Amino acid sequence: MEYGPDPNAIYPNEAMKSICYIKNVITRPNIIVGDYTYYDDINGAEKFEERVTHHYEFIGDKLIIGKFCAIAKGIEFVMNGANHRMCSVTTYPFNIMGHGWEKATPTLADLPLKGDTVVGNDVWIGQNVTVMPGVHIGDGAIIAANSVVVKDVPPYHIAGGNPCKIIKKRFDDELIDYLLAIQWWNWPVRKIFNHLETLCSGDLTKIKEMK
Name residue 64's beta-bridge partners. 32, 118
Q: What is the distance of C-alpha 88 from the center of its chain? A: 32
Distance (Å, whole) CA 186 – CA 68: 10
Residue among 159, 111, 117, 155 nearest 135 (CA): 117
54 catalytic? Reply is no
Distance (Å, whole) CA 106 – CA 86: 10
What amino acid occupies position 116? Answer: D
The catalytic position among 54, 55, 84, 136 is 84
> How far is residue 207 from each of residues 40, 49, 96, 190, 192, measured CA to CA in Å?
28, 35, 54, 16, 12
Known catalytic residues?
84
